Structure 1
Amino acid sequence: MENLVPAKVKKPTCACCSDEVHTHVHQHGGSHSSMEGHDHDHNHDTSGLGWKAYLPASISFVLLGIGLLLDYVVEFPIFRGYVRFVWYALAYMPVAWPVVRDAWATIRHLDFFNEFTLMVLATFGAFYIGEYPEGVAVMLFYALGELFQSAAVTRARSNIKALLDIRPKRATVKRGAGFIQVNPEEVQVGELLQVKVGERVPLDGIILSEQAQLDTAAITGEGRPKVYRRGEGVLAGMVVLDRVIELKTEKLYADSSIARILDMVQHASSRKAKTELLIRRFAKIYTPIVFFLALLVVCIPYFFVASYNFHDWLYRGLVFLVISCPCALVISIPLGFFGGIGAASRNGILFKGANFLESLTKVNTVVMDKTGTITKGTFAVNYMETVLDKVEFMAYLQHLERQSNHPIAKAILNYTGSAEHVFEVEEVKEIAGHGIEALVNGRWALAGNAKLLERYGIAYPEQLNMEVDTVVLLALDKEYVGFVRLADELKEDIVGGLLALRKEGVKELVLLSGDSDGIVQKTALYLKLDRAFGNLLPEQKVENIEALKKDKHRVIAFVGDGINDAPVLAISDVGIAMGAMGSDVAIETADVVIQDDRFEKVATSIKIGKATKAIVYQNIVLAFGVKLLVLLLGASGMATMWGAVFADVGVALLAILNAVRIQNMKFD
């Protein structure tokens, strides 16, 4: 995975807040948004989660364990007074130092009410009243929660990076007298590249070869290969089909579409879900309130309790303070959404923000493009009719079409069944927009559309003019002998994908396409879609979406892949792009990208969104329920600091484990 992130990509953002931060996600406090813009750089990086990341917590755990043994089991005589204090202070420092440093950073910027200051006050107070083990335990479990969170975020981020690493791994560049292979990121503007048949163009450039045929589907969404000639520009991601080419680079790798997509992924967490934003706003109000409530727990009883004992009520106040820390909420909710993003990426789906995970759960109308979205974007023979033997008929047709580079010719050549016939082909002539004529095995043969036969006055069945799909006619010695019908093939998973959408609560399925209305209506009828519109220009697609959006109860997801789909992707509630064959513009405009172009992943993305939302709500109920119970017990003196530890850090750990659970779910 080395060199995955291009140089221009910013620092990764925290899974819990929109600040650019260190990779260790150690800033999920309720008031953290007030720190935007200041220097919040920490060095305790746990993104890789190697053994060093666990070392402070391990040291504290061992020292705390030994201390508890000496306190309650062995009862070592010397383990008293200052010795006991120093021992627990040594156990406290490895895990407390990063939190104390963060607390000081927030205080310097006049942010006093967050989980850092709450933790520091509560644990310092525990040391003040002699409850050393409890003070260490609170901070230790807090550190463990941080490690769990970092591990979960790292796992999700690595899933995303692995799926996005679809760029060409090597570029063949001319250096000195020959060509050598280097990392595409090392190629400079103006260098000479060589790309072989079947390879992807690694960087944008100008073609220097005479001409070449390239598959442009990944960039333009066009299913038909395109011929490029000398001096024309080609883009990274196009696949060379017919010959070795040379080109001169125009841009650095960092400026490629793949790099831009990765940049968006790294910052996906900055686009917050409404639930996450609500909890963060709540935490900003909640934290100072509970701080002053804890202060009242200590002070108010002085005026009403005859046997008031400051030590006892301070302990209750500290317990209240630890319990009230909003860690479980402000850690687990953003982590739940980030976990959903990671789970989606593991399933080949890229979400550009947590808000789109939440929006997808409300989708009740799915509008889709046709070519490249529900179809493969390539032609195939699906019907044949001839007066000849079918094998002989295809032999004539294939020998003629072998002389052409047209996508329809390639589709005919891909049809099997005539390999036993070997004909001699002479005097080949391609007539633009019509077809091919030649002498095949001594017979004058024509293969093309109806216009070609009309050109030579050859009669053919009238009903062929009514065909909505593409047809290729064959004539031998001025006599019509048959035709084949070709159509853009539906994707294998389209029927199952549409059924899955219905099961997920999608009430309306709509097809918008630039193809002829006859083909579009035929496709819609076969797939049992609710509405279908053909012959649409990009602006007409937009008009159709705007008409649908007039019904305020509709939440619309649009699924497309081409440049002409970009405007519709932008105005839909959720735009979903097919990433493998989709155009660069469509991928950048979309909110969700399906990496392998499988239509059934649209329903999968909705399932992941619903599972994520369910986990987030479970965490909210868990955190509030347990905290409320233990807060009441703490204020009445029935809960100890250990109970507070469970209510705060224990619940946070449970919530984190629940959030991580989504990454192991199966959504097939």
Structure 2
Amino acid sequence: MKHTENNDKEEDFKPLEITSPRTAEAPGPSFDADGNAIYQPGAEDHAHAEEEAKASYLPTAISLALLLGGLLLDYLDTPWFVGYVRPVVYGIAYLLVGWRVVWHAIKSMRGSFFNEFFLMSMATLGAFYIGEYAEGVAVMLFYVIGEHFQEAAVLRSRRSIKALIDNRPDEVELVSEQGITTVKARTVQVGDVVQVKAGEKVALDGELLTDRSSFNTAALTGESKPDTKTKGETVLAGMINLDRVIELRVTSPYENSALSKILQMVEQAGSRKAKTQQFITKFAKVYTPIVFFLALGLIVVPYFVVEGYDFDQWLYRALIFLVISCPCALVISIPLGYFGGIGAASRNGLLFKGANFLDQMTQVDTVVMDKTGTLTEGVFKVQEVQTTLPDKAWFLSAVAALESKSTHPIAKAIVEEAGQAGQRMAVHGVEEISGHGLKGEVDGKQLLVGNGRLLEKYKVPYDAKLKEIVETIVLVAVDGAYAGYITIADKVKADAPLAVQRMRELGVKKLVMLSGDKDSIVQKVARELQLDEAYGGLLPQDKVSHVERLKAEGRTVAFVGDGINDAPVITLADVGMAMGALGSDAAIETADVVIQADHPSRIATAINIGKKTKQIVWQNITLAFAVKAIVLLLGAGGLATMWEAVFADVGVALLAILNAVRIQRMKFD
């Protein structure tokens, strides 16, 4: 667990609290000391929970029908709708929706009973006491309808996340000496070979044994563009095989696959509260008893100062005060807003490990990035081929033929550039000279391929200006004479310039690049992307020093990296971000935010989602307090009825919930 002063990263995981009395009947949730239902992601059958939620709609519908029927009979002044009939009809309507709320109010008395269940029960039962049956039912009914909206929003968000990242097949086709058999994915061992047909989803991480195939990686990266994998490359659980029947050698057990880890991150994400959530939770615990005793004072004080004191009149005003003061809109819509933000991030290929990091992203003013694998592709590519020979194609093919005998990444880049041509040449007498390069015979000609020291060793003259080239350079001599050079460089990612532009638009004041690559290359990339600062030739501890310096300047720092060497600085940053689902396990484990796609522009998307989420949360807070303050004053003065109180409480809660779920439909690119 991370240890910083600027966020809540030390907070232990706790289940996401959703104050919904009906969730008590679904399998899994429990209740805290205040009677709040604790909603535990992954601890219940989501499909069954959805069925339970839908089943609870029937009593609500019957209650609504009885309320509307009673109001109509009251309006028509029906003769038989008097005496015991009227309270019985309204009483049934009340019990259909209110019994769970009252029951939880009673249960919560063993702890802190000043919660919304207690307030709603007191207000509605008090309304029945003074004969305002319809208003008592209406308050409870609309409160429950608001809970239905909240439940539907949570279930929809969880359903969309689950559908996005966890619909792996439970069974796989295991390839063995006995043939192909269907087995449970959980029983497959590391090293086993499985077969995946075209159109099927991969259930386990593995190494591709087939020559090549294309995969839909949307479940992991949020990208619908197919990704072609070749033999020996890693294929992850959750990818969809598009082309042909393939075979994979399993590299991770079912429960340790990349997709399992991602799903676990999402399900834990709701458990870390943002500071706004923590404030509202603490505020509600102080606020609720205050308004209860104010309501009590509204009954008692007028007895001593008002002539012609009417107990029922002042009790009615106090009940209105209680209904208005219920903090439902705050305690429901705020966590729902953050949960919606986490869901929206997931659909955009971002995994926030807690709502607190959504808040923290809005404070980031400095983004520090690694170079290789974050801003650049991390794959060497041939940039330029120059030769003094008349046949440039032969020159490249001959160099590739010799380099094919090496496993160095630079050698692989040259072989890939030449394609099949270099493989048709005869190569003999290959000698690798450590720290220098290769010597050998290709098609009857003696080749030297390596750095300047290799040519100097064999006394082959070449232009000294070649040493000034920034990129990695491979010098070539043929039959003892300089014949040309090939430059190799890491390519800047296509959307890196867009990432820089969008981060600046979102208010990031400083963009810094830290890299272990040589400084000349780092400075070239920094100039190309117009970064504010760039430092090359760094060890992991050097990166830590630079981030410590920036934090000492009072900056809120997000660090983005992908390698195991980035784990220490990811831990140190205010917000640590791991780039790519294929990044190192250490980087992903220590990061606060995981960018599933290898696109740096998603850094800006993460900032944008954090800002939009916080904006919606504060809209809800402002709306709730403003409306409640106005109607509280009107209620205390006798100018508001229970119906206005219903709007101030449940109506505002409904509006806040609808505003909170709006984030799930927003576009952030």
The TM tier, using the shorter chain, reads 0.7 to 0.9
Three-state SS of the structure 2 residue aligned to 1:582 is coil
Structure 1 counterpart of 2:499, which letter?
G
Output the CA distance in 2 between the equivalents of 1:512 and 1:21: 51
Could you say which residue in structure 2 is the equivalent of 1:636? 637
Shift of 1:16: 7.1
Task: Give the whole-Å Cα distance in 2 for the aligned partners of 1:322 and 1:355.
Answer: 31
Deviates more, 1:46-55 or 1:22-31: 22-31
Give secondary structure in 2 for the equivalent of 1:104: helix
Instruction: Specify the alignment match of 1:178 in structure 2.
Output: 179
Shift of 1:177: 1.9
Match of 1:58 in 2: 61
Native 8 Å contact 1:28 1:331 kept in 2 = no
Change (3 A) 1:454 1:27: same
Unmatched runs of 5 consecutive residues or more in structure 2 = 1-12, 210-219, 221-228
Measured in 2, the distance between the counterparts of 1:15 and 1:94 equals 21
Partner of 1:79: 81
Q: In structure 2, do the counterparts of structure 1 residues 120 and 414 end up closer, same or farther at CA, with 3 Å as the change threshold?
A: same
Could you tell me how far 1:157 is from its partner in structure 2? 2.6
Q: Answer yes or no: is 1:616 the counterpart of 2:617.
A: yes
Give the match for residue 561 of structure 1: 562
The answer to whether the 8 Å contact 1:615/1:658 transfers is yes
Q: Name the stretch that deviates more: 304-313 or 318-327.
A: 304-313
- Structure-to-structure mapping, 1:260-409, within 5 angstroms: 260-387=261-388, 388-401=390-403, 406-409=408-411
**Secondary structure of 1:535's match?**
coil
1:151 aligned onto 2:133: no
Counterparts in 2 of 1:26 and 1:637: CA distance versus 1, 3 Å: farther
> Percent identity at matched positions?
52
User: Secondary structure of the equivalent of 2:426?
Assistant: strand
2-structure distance, mates of 1:288, 1:163 = 43
2:187 is aligned with what amino acid? V
Distance apart, 1:163 and its partner CA: 4.5
Instruction: Tell me by how many angstroms 1:171 deviates.
Output: 4.8
Q: Is 1:91 matched with 2:99?
A: no
Match of residue 482 from structure 2: 480
- Residue in 1 that maps onto 2:223: none
8 Å CA contact retained: 1:194, 1:246: yes
Specify the code of the residue in structure 2 equivalent to 1:599.
P
| Partner amino acid, structure 2, of 1:540 | D
When structure 1 is superposed on structure 2, of 531-540 and 277-286 the one drifting more is 531-540
Query: How much has 1:377 moved relative to structure 2?
Result: 0.9
Q: Does residue 193 of structure 1 match 2:193?
A: yes
Alignment of 1:441-520 (within 5 A): 442-454=444-456, 456-520=458-522
What do the CA deviations read for 1:263-296 (whole angstroms, capped 9, x no partner)? 2321222211111111111110110111111112
Map 1:203-282 → 2, pairs under 5 A: 252-282=253-283
Gapped regions of structure 1 (runs ≥ 5): 1-9, 210-217, 219-224, 229-233
Answer yes or no: is the 8 Å Cα contact 2:14–2:272 preserved in 1. Answer: no
Does structure 1 retain, via aligned residues, the 8 Å contact 2:340–2:660?
Answer: yes
Which residue of 63, 69, 73 maps to 2:72? 69
Deviations 1:427-461 (A, max 9, x none): 34554452463423x54445444455455544333
In the alignment, what sits opposite 2:524? 522
Q: Which moved more, 1:616-625 or 1:388-397?
A: 388-397
Cα displacement (A) at 1:325:
0.3
Q: Output aligned runs, 1:63-142, within 5 Å.
A: 63-72=66-75, 74-107=76-109, 109-142=110-143
Q: Is the 8 A contact 2:258 2:581 kept in 1?
A: no
Contact 1:381 1:484 in 2 (8 A): yes
Structure 1 residues 445 and 238: CA distance shift in structure 2, 3 A = farther
8 Å CA contact retained: 1:49, 1:151: no
Task: Give the AA of the match of 1:478.
Answer: G
Matches within 5 A, 1:402-421: 406-415=408-417
Give the Cα–Cα distance (whole angstroms) in 2 for the partners of residues 448 and 166 of structure 1.
50
Cα deviations by residue, 1:468-505 (Å, 9 ceiling, x for unpaired): 32223343333332222111111111111112111212
- Tell me, in whole angstroms, the C-alpha distance in 1 between the residues paired with 2:314 and 2:381: 81
Gap change, CA 1:621 and 1:201, over 3 Å in 2:
closer
User: TM-score, structure 2 length as denominator?
Assistant: 0.83
Contact 2:398 2:422 in 1 (8 A): no
Q: Please state how far the C-alpha of 1:178 moved relative to its aligned partner.
A: 2.4
Aligned Cα root-mean-square deviation (Å)? 4.3
Which of 367-376 and 537-546 deviates more?
537-546
Question: What displacement does 1:306 show?
Answer: 2.2
Per the alignment, do residues 245 and 538 of structure 1 end up closer, same or farther by CA in structure 2, a change over 3 Å counting? farther
Aligned ranges 1:27-66 → 2 under 5 Å: 46-47=49-50, 51-66=54-69
Alignment match, 2:540: 538
* Shift in Å, 1:651: 0.6
Give the 3 Å change call, closer, same or farther, for CA 457–555 of structure 1 in structure 2. Answer: same
Q: CA deviation at 1:535?
A: 1.6
Paired residue secondary structure (1:495): helix
Aligned CA distance change for structure 1 residues 363 and 263 (closer, same or farther; 3 Å): same
Segment of structure 1 superposing worse, 620-629 or 77-86: 77-86
Structure 1 contact 574–592 (Cα < 8 Å) conserved: yes
1:36 is displaced (CA, Å) by 12
Determine helix, strand or coil for the equivalent of 2:17: coil
Paired with 1:88 and 1:368, the residues of 2 have a C-alpha distance of: 64
User: Displacement, 1:43?
Assistant: 12
CA shift at 1:166, angstroms? 9.2
Question: What does residue 161 of structure 2 align with?
Answer: 160
Partner of 2:627: 626
Instruction: Give the residue type in structure 1 aligned to 2:568.
Output: P
